Amino acid sequence: MPTLAASVALLDIEGTLGSIAFVRDVLFPFARERMSGYVMAHADEPEMQTILDEAAREAQLDRNDLGAIIDALHHWSDNDVKITPLKALQGHIWLEGFTSSGIRGHLYDDAIDALRRFHGSGVRLYIYSSGSVPAQKLLFGHSVGGDLLPLFDGFYDTTIGGKREAQSYERIAREIGVPAQSIVFFSDVALELDAASSAGMQTVQLARPQDGTQAAANHTSVPSFAGVEIVAKRAP
């Protein structure tokens, strides 16, 4: 198992810290079933107005055609399109699920242990996920491991850029304020790891058998966080 020297760990969620099945089989259906009603009920609120404005622009629709916009949101949801207005809307709906319906965010036991271990060793923890930042905070604040939010220094979503674009990782490194080589990025997706590596970050792939992830030849791959260590180093 690898021992890395880094000042920051940047982590994906789905397939890395938690199971793909939880998002696919619990969170996505929960949001989809409530999407139309939620939009209609909150259409006049400023945050929803912003979501609808952006959805109309992305889908090239008349902003006044609410039905067509809702159809576009459903289409993106059904096809798991990583698009900001959908992710923002899902985050709002999941808020009700986590706070009122008793949903708890799935995280693997080895991931919970690693987050606590890395944080305890002085490594700063950040999340970079296609899910919106509010949705990320909901998951970690209402996780099966309890409230893990105090472990993290920050969260990033697709508003910083696409996860398969090297420029996104360059922006994250600049915002955190450390050289890219002082950051190790953990993900299950090889193309995301490729982008992070191109930006100068260290990379580790989580190739979890239970999620069906195939190990990539050009990245260090591990089946879990068990045995993965990070030696905290002072960023220059």
Domain of 32, CATH number, reads 1.10.720
Q: What is the average per-residue pLDDT within 145-167? A: 96
Interval 44-97: pLDDT, tens: 999 999 999 999 999 999 999 999 999 999 999 999 898 989 989 998 999 888
End of a domain among 41, 71, 100? 100
**Predicted local distance difference test score (pLDDT) of residue 99:** 86
pLDDT band at 2 (very low <50, low <70, confident <90, very high): confident
**Predicted local distance difference test score (pLDDT) of residue 235:** 54
Residue 133 in 3-state DSSP? Answer: helix
How many distinct structural domains can be found in the chain? 2
The radius of gyration computed from the CA coordinates of the chain, to the nearest angstrom, equals 18
Residue 57 in 3-state DSSP? Answer: helix
Which 8-state DSSP code applies to residue 122? T
pLDDT at 220 over 80: yes
Print the domain residue range for 177: 3-19+106-232
Q: Measured between alpha carbons, how far is 36 from 52 in angstroms, rounded to an integer?
A: 12
C-alpha separations of 142 from 61, 136, 187 in Å? 36, 10, 22
Q: Measured between alpha carbons, how far is 163 from 112 in angstroms, rounded to an integer?
A: 23
C-alpha separations of 193 from 24, 134, 166 in Å? 22, 24, 9
Residue 215 in 3-state DSSP? Answer: coil
- Based on the domain organization, do 208 and 171 belong to the same domain? yes
- Computed over every residue of the chain, the mean pLDDT equals 94
- Based on the domain organization, do 158 and 180 belong to the same domain? yes
pLDDT band at 112 (very low <50, low <70, confident <90, very high): very high
- Based on the domain organization, do 67 and 182 belong to the same domain? no
pLDDT at 120 over 60: yes
Q: Measured between alpha carbons, how far is 209 from 31 in angstroms, rounded to an integer?
A: 27
**Predicted local distance difference test score (pLDDT) of residue 236:** 55
Interval 10-50: pLDDT, tens: 999 999 999 999 988 998 899 999 999 999 999 999 999 99
- Based on the domain organization, do 121 and 216 belong to the same domain? yes
**Predicted local distance difference test score (pLDDT) of residue 102:** 84
- Based on the domain organization, do 112 and 172 belong to the same domain? yes
- Based on the domain organization, do 164 and 132 belong to the same domain? yes
**Predicted local distance difference test score (pLDDT) of residue 96:** 85
What global pTM score does this model have? 0.84
Give the side-chain half-sphere CA count within 13 A for 110. Answer: 13
What type of residue sits at position 24? Answer: R
Other beta carbons within 10 angstroms of residue 95's beta carbon come to: 15
CATH classification at residue 196: 3.40.50.1000
- Based on the domain organization, do 228 and 157 belong to the same domain? yes
